[in-house]
Amino acid sequence: MFGCLFTLDYEIHGNGDGCPYELMVEPTERLLRLFDQYGAKLTIMADVAEIIKFKEYWQEHNEDVFYFNQIKQQLQQAILSGHDVQLHIHSSYFGSKFSNGSWDQNWLEYSLAELPYDRLFEIIGICKSFLEELIQPVQPDYRCSVFRAANWSMSPSYNIVQALINNGIKIDTSVWKYGKWDKIVQFDYSNAHSDLIPWYIDPNDVCRNSLEGKLLEIPIYCEERSIWHFITRNRLFRLNQASKHKHPASKFGYSAATQSAEKKTKSTVSKLKGLLTKKHAWKLDFNQCTGKQMIKALERIEKKYEHLDCDIPVVSIGHSKLFTAQNSRSLESFLKYVANEQSKYYFATFDEFDTTTFRALSIP
Ligand SMILES: [Zn+2]
């Protein structure tokens, strides 16, 4: 059977803009209500680095303008209702300051996997303990054991993989096969071990499996698709949001001049040709794909992997800040479909899988 696992990146805009109530608490409340109607389970990947900053601000100014207490209550309540909360870290919030209506982050620590081992070990340890101390008052046996990197940054792999293992993290869920970024954060997951089947990570390369690996990768499901599959209303909404809340590129040493020089090397015509003819990494994103697209993807997965006789997680990704009313209607059709196809699919959280079966499956 296939366990549908919905992971929600819970955070404000990447450049530090935005109100945590509007971008995190309110949409997640709607999402949880929708999921509860169908018995679906949400795994909230909470960016603990920013939540720590929201708490500090409340304690220093005696004013909870970043809604820390509502965030805490929401995460505790989610756990009590059978959902899950796990760890997401945007390291640039460490050392950040709130100024001129936005969090001015420590951009030198933006690219997570490039940080030195000691710093990674320290940051992951602080965030994991914070999350456990936040949840354990309502569920004493709660453990933080699953991780998603900021901007999916798991390459170069060695430092971050060791830092996760040595902090007791068991599962990473950052990789999406075919994914490639070469700007502020760089990675190339084209050769990832699988689009769906979990693997134990070779510490030198998150994309490779190793029978002795100690950290399990449960990838975000991804396919290669033509550009036409990317045209959805919610994707346009995301593009609009991204253009309004741009990163201050100059702070990364990635200047406008560099960008335009790079752009000139390729003509507009050849870029357009590439866009239309090449295939692109299409993540199973429950905010940006339509319900219909998600149902079709699940059917393709079932066809490709039905021969496996163990439960396989199908990880989709979303962002609380992108959950619109239109998205809600479309996602509901997918939840209905999964709820009605009980012989093939079920709603899952990470702790429900027998991870030992994946070691045998990842034998090349
Ligand atoms: Zn994030």
CATH code for residues 2-361: 3.20.20.370
CA angle, 123 then 128 then 130, to 5°: 95
Determine the distance separating the centroid of ligand 1 and the alpha carbon of 348, expressed in angstroms. Answer: 22
pLDDT band at 362; cut points 50, 70, 90: low
pLDDT for residue 287: 93
Per DSSP bridges, beta strands 205-209 and 199-202 are antiparallel
Paired tokens of 139: 């569920």
pLDDT band at 235; cut points 50, 70, 90: confident
Mean pLDDT over all residues of the chain? 91
Task: Give me the mean pLDDT over the 353-360 stretch.
Answer: 87
Determine the distance separating the centroid of ligand 1 and the alpha carbon of 296, expressed in angstroms. Answer: 27
Determine the distance separating the centroid of ligand 1 and the alpha carbon of 152, expressed in angstroms. Answer: 8
Determine the distance separating the centroid of ligand 1 and the alpha carbon of 285, expressed in angstroms. Answer: 14
Express each pLDDT in 140-149 by its tens digit: 999 999 999 9
Determine the distance separating the centroid of ligand 1 and the alpha carbon of 268, expressed in angstroms. Answer: 31
pLDDT for residue 180: 93
Determine the distance separating the centroid of ligand 1 and the alpha carbon of 343, expressed in angstroms. Answer: 34
Q: Is the pLDDT of residue 130 over 60?
A: yes
Determine the distance separating the centroid of ligand 1 and the alpha carbon of 88, expressed in angstroms. Answer: 7
Q: Is the pLDDT of residue 257 over 50?
A: no
Determine the distance separating the centroid of ligand 1 and the alpha carbon of 264, expressed in angstroms. Answer: 31
Determine the distance separating the centroid of ligand 1 and the alpha carbon of 340, expressed in angstroms. Answer: 32
Determine the distance separating the centroid of ligand 1 and the alpha carbon of 295, expressed in angstroms. Answer: 25
Strand intervals (E) in 34-76: 42-47
Determine the distance separating the centroid of ligand 1 and the alpha carbon of 178, expressed in angstroms. Answer: 19
Determine the distance separating the centroid of ligand 1 and the alpha carbon of 245, expressed in angstroms. Answer: 14
Determine the distance separating the centroid of ligand 1 and the alpha carbon of 364, expressed in angstroms. Answer: 32
pLDDT for residue 241: 78
Determine the distance separating the centroid of ligand 1 and the alpha carbon of 312, expressed in angstroms. Answer: 25
pLDDT for residue 260: 52
CB-side neighbour CA atoms (13 Å) of 165: 18
Strand intervals (E) in the chain: 2-10, 42-47, 84-89, 97-99, 102-104, 146-149, 171-172, 180-182, 186-188, 199-202, 205-209, 216-217, 222-225, 280-283, 312-319, 345-347
Paired tokens of 285: 């994103």
Determine the distance separating the centroid of ligand 1 and the alpha carbon of 257, expressed in angstroms. Answer: 27
Show me where the domains of the chain are located.
2-361
pLDDT for residue 255: 45
What phi and psi, each to the nearest 5 degrees, are found at residue 188? -140, 105
Determine the distance separating the centroid of ligand 1 and the alpha carbon of 13, expressed in angstroms. Answer: 9
pLDDT for residue 326: 86
Task: Give me the mean pLDDT over the 128-157 stretch.
Answer: 97
Determine the distance separating the centroid of ligand 1 and the alpha carbon of 272, expressed in angstroms. Answer: 29
pLDDT for residue 256: 44
pLDDT for residue 18: 94
Task: Give me the mean pLDDT over the 102-108 stretch.
Answer: 91
Determine the distance separating the centroid of ligand 1 and the alpha carbon of 39, expressed in angstroms. Answer: 26
Q: What count of other Cβ atoms lies within 10 Å of the Cβ of residue 273?
A: 11
Which is nearest to 335 in space by CA: 27, 14, 28, 35?
35
Paired tokens of 244: 């309004």
Q: Is the pLDDT of residue 190 over 90?
A: yes
pLDDT for residue 277: 66
Determine the distance separating the centroid of ligand 1 and the alpha carbon of 12, expressed in angstroms. Answer: 8
Task: Give me the mean pLDDT over the 45-73 stretch.
Answer: 97
Determine the distance separating the centroid of ligand 1 and the alpha carbon of 9, expressed in angstroms. Answer: 6
pLDDT band at 315; cut points 50, 70, 90: very high
Express each pLDDT in 10-51 by its tens digit: 999 999 999 999 999 999 999 999 999 999 999 999 999 999
Express each pLDDT in 155-178 by its tens digit: 999 999 999 999 999 999 999 999
Q: Is the pLDDT of residue 249 over 60?
A: no
What phi and psi, each to the nearest 5 degrees, are found at residue 299? -65, -40
Task: Give me the mean pLDDT over the 227-235 stretch.
Answer: 74
Q: How far is 97 from 364, CA to CA, in rounded Å?
A: 47
Determine the distance separating the centroid of ligand 1 and the alpha carbon of 306, expressed in angstroms. Answer: 32
pLDDT band at 361; cut points 50, 70, 90: confident
Q: How far is 249 from 251, CA to CA, in rounded Å?
A: 5
Task: Give me the mean pLDDT over the 302-325 stretch.
Answer: 93
pLDDT for residue 100: 86
Contact indicator for 201, 154 with CB cutoff of 8 Å: no
Higher pLDDT, 228 or 260: 228
